Every structure is written in C-alpha cells, then in structure tokens.
Amino acid sequence: MNKLRSYAMGEWVEGTGKATELFHAVTGEKVGEATSEGLDFGAMLEYGRTRGGPAMRKLTFHERASLLKQMAKYLMERKDEFYTASAASGATKADCWIDIDGGIGTFFAYSSKGRREFPNERFYMEGAVEGLSKDGSFVARHLCVPMEGTAVHINAFNFPCWGMLEKLAPTFLAGMPAIVKPATVTSYITEAVVRAMIESKILPDGALQLIVGGVGDLFEHLDCQDVVTFTGSASTALKLKSHQTILENSIRFNVEADSLNFSMLGPDSPPGSEEFDIFIKEVAREMTAKAGQKCTAIRRTLVPDAMVQDVITALQKRLQGVKIGDPSVEGVRMGPLAAKAQVSEVQRSVDSLLSATERVYGGPDGFDVVGADKLRGAFFPTTLLYCDDPHGKQEPHKVEAFGPVNTILPYKSVEEAIELAKLGRGSLVGSL
C-alpha cells in the first residue's frame, strides 16, 4: 500500500492522523492513503513567497518559457510512468492521452507564447502611453509585473495531470510560485507527476509545492498578493470564495465550476448528411471519453423537432457498440468513473433528471462490463435521456450528471434553440 506524501518547503512529508483511503476504480482494491494533517500551511505559503517567488521573478519571460519547455520535454520522457499510475483511475489509453499528453502540451504551448508574445524582460508594458493632460505633462501606461504572493491551485479529480499543468504553465510564465492541491481521489496521479518535476531539478526551490489531502487552515494564511484558482463544483466554489480572508483581502479567486455544455444539430443537416454523421459521432464520443467526466463534455443535445427520433436511433446504435470495462482489455472503449463515490453522485443526478425526462438508452441494470466486476468497480452505463418540454422543465438546464449522461432537447426554430442554449447559464463550450 502506498501512503502518499505532500511536498512542502523542499521536502516530501508524510501526513499524520486519519487518512483517506483510495481505491482502484476497476478492481475496487485499495491503492493508497492520503492525508495532509501535520502540514504547516502558513509556512508553505511563506516559503513560496520568500523562496520560490524571488527566484521566479529574477527570470525574464523568455527564461521562464525555457523552463516550461525543458520541463515539458522531461515529462514526455517519463510519461509512461504517469500512464501506469492513471490505470487505477479507470482511464483508457485515449483518456490518458488527453490528461497526460494534453497536460504536458500546455507547457509547450505556453513556452511558445512566452517566447513569441512577450519581451525578454522581467516586466511587460501593456498598451500605448495614454495622455492625461493637454500639455503632455501627465501620462500613464500599464506596467505588468509578477505578484509577490503564492498561487494556490485547487484542482478537480477528472484531470489530475492536465488540470494541474494547465494552471502551472501560465503561473510559472507570470513569475509566481504555486501550491497544488489535487482532488484527493486521484491525487496519486498528481503526486507521481509532481515527484518527477521535483526530481528534474529544473524549477527553482520553492516554485512548486504539493498538498495531498485537505487544505486545513490554508485559507487563514492567505494575503492580498496571493491568488487562488479553483476547479470543481459550484457549491464548493461559492463556499471558498466567500471565505472571510478572501473577502477581507480582496484576493483574486478564479473559478471553473459546473457547466451544462450543449451541441446543436442544425435544421440543414438531415439524416444521411455528412454533418449529421459527424454530429452523432461527436455526441457519442463526448459521452464516453473519460466516461463523461470532462468539464467540456456535452450535457445537452439540441435537435430539430423533426429529427429527434433519427438522432435517438443513431445514438442508440452508436452507444451499443461501446464496450464498457477494464481499459486494459482489448476492445474496451470506456472505463469506470474515477471512484465508487462518483457512481452514487452521478446516479443521484440522473434520478433528478428523470423527474423531467425519460430514459431512451441505458440504465443501471442493463449493461455488461468486460473484464471486471461491475459491483466492485466504479462502472456507470452510458445513459441517454429525452426531455419533451425543454422550456417548461428546468432540470436539464440546472442538473449536471458528471458521467456518461446526455439529454436530448427538441427545438422548433433556430431562435428557440438559441434560447435553450442560453438556459445553461454560462456553459464552458457550445458547438454547432
């Protein structure tokens, strides 16, 4: 059994006290324990401010970009280790590619942007000089410099590698140190990546720290130069954003929360057309990639009223060909959810949606699992729902089932489709 460790103030630290048990998403076997009890969170923040921050601020944008590129190359060389770790989360090879290769790719991308779009300086001049007086004696211009605090990244369970690296890339390019707090359930993957990053010795001391477990009293020690970035549920985001320390110090708090994304089939894309086939393929892919555990996954499918049955039939046929099971078995295209707790969570959301919809494909009893025990693993069936009154029933626009679940919504005109799309209240993505 592996007891995960945090990386604090230049050392790997094993937490004390009661730990959270972590389980293999496919087999249900225990794979580790995680706890952050015993960590000095205030000292971690100060270590970032006094050790990591000054070291990062000494570097120019181009030098920071070079660090990103070096790290990306190094992580690519060790990515097989991360694929192995990800197997316990139920990820298929394609899922791992999104999380691991995609995450490393963000370092390459920001490295390129840093070299191409920023000067080889420690500061950035934004915009033109603005004259504020008639005779030119009073002018102003924006001068951008790194903040002198520590960035705190609280990440979601679904992308333990990509979710971390996509935040670290702009943070490091901006010259700030970071403390990463991954979702505990898949923190063993994040720990493996951070361990490799530390072993590379590419980053300055104090630039990167890791909390495995809860955040304890971390928020009590934040100040106005620190930054918090959160990915997760809207309810948790609201709770954290309303913390007294955040409000009193006007601390920057960025949130990526629940999102009821949509995809719309146009009325000029009838069955048999290339566009129709692409639409069906993409909707099914978004339901099954990462077992539907993507912030950008399609949750609401907008379809012309006259094509609803054609879309349902096509999706049923497509989903019937998706084998669910152990990703290590040949032919399996969708693995389990990240943990058993997620099965209950997704089922509760589906039950809520069923109060306003009917199930047209899937169900908890009618699906087979290849190469694994359905009851021991965190498996959930692909589930397609249909809502006959998308204006009168609000559940499809308010409830997100964070799994392989999609709701078909009929529309009579493009104008109506636009109104339905807007009911998602700020989706991350929409596609046509």
**284 and 245 part of one domain:** no
Task: Grade residue 426 by pLDDT with cuts at 50, 70 and 90.
Answer: low
Is 175 part of a structural domain of the chain?
Answer: yes
The answer to whether residue 144 is catalytic is: no
pLDDT recorded at residue 65: 99
The pLDDT, as a whole number, for residue 363 is 84
For residues 384-408, give the mean pLDDT: 96
Q: Are residues 6 and 51 in the same domain?
A: yes
**Does one domain contain both 304 and 200?**
no
The two beta strands, 178-181 and 227-231, are unpaired
The answer as to whether 409 is a domain residue is yes
Q: Answer for the pair 229, 254: CB distance below 8 angstroms, yes or no.
A: yes
Q: What is the mean pLDDT of residues 72-76?
A: 99
132-145 residue pLDDT tens: 998 989 999 999 99
Q: Is 78 left (phi over 0), alpha (psi -120 to 50) or beta?
A: alpha
Residue 140 lies in a domain: no
Q: Which of 63, 81, 148, 256 is catalytic?
A: 256
Distance between CA atoms of 314 and 312, rounded to whole angstroms? 6
The domain boundary, picked from 205, 228, 256, lies at: 256
- Would you tell me how many other CB atoms lie within 10 Å of the CB of residue 177? 29
pLDDT at residue 1 is higher than 80: no
Whether 141 is covered by a domain: the verdict is: no
Q: Is the pTM of this model over 0.85?
A: yes
- Structural domain that includes position 307: 261-431
Residue 257 has pLDDT above 90, yes or no: no
| Confidence bin at 427 (pLDDT 50/70/90) | low
> Is 128 within the bounds of a domain?
no
CATH number of the domain that residue 274 is part of = 3.40.309.10
Q: Nearest Cα to 266, choosing from 420, 417, 397, 388?
A: 417
Question: Looking at residues 73-81, what average pLDDT do you find?
Answer: 98
User: pLDDT tens digits, residue range 212-255?
Assistant: 999 999 999 999 999 999 999 888 999 999 999 999 999 999 99
pLDDT, one tens digit per residue, over 364-375 is 877 899 999 999
Please identify, among 225, 256, 287, the residue that sits at the C-terminal boundary of a domain.
256
Q: What's the pLDDT tens digit per position in 108-132?
A: 999 999 999 999 999 999 999 999 9
Interatomic CA distance for residues 336 and 232, integer angstroms: 19
Q: What's the whole-number average pLDDT of the chain?
A: 96
- 132 in a structural domain: no
Q: Which two tokens stand for residue 358?
A: 């009917």
Question: Do the domain assignments include residue 131?
Answer: no
Q: Is the pLDDT of residue 348 over 90?
A: yes
Alpha-carbon dihedral of residues 354, 356, 358, 364, nearest 10 degrees? -10
pLDDT digits (tens, 9 = 90+) for 281-327: 999 999 999 999 999 899 999 999 999 999 999 999 999 999 999 99
**How many whole angstroms separate alpha carbon 340 and alpha carbon 336?**
9
Q: How many domains does the chain have?
A: 2
| pLDDT band per the 50, 70, 90 thresholds, residue 334 | very high
CATH for 176:
3.40.605.10
pLDDT of residue 162: 98
Q: State whether 252 and 281 are in the same domain.
A: no
Domain assignment present for residue 156? The answer is yes
Catalytic residue (choose from 96, 161, 295, 387): 295
Same domain, 287 and 173: no
Are the C-beta atoms of residues 360 and 316 closer than 8 Å to each other? yes
Q: Is 248 a catalytic residue?
A: no
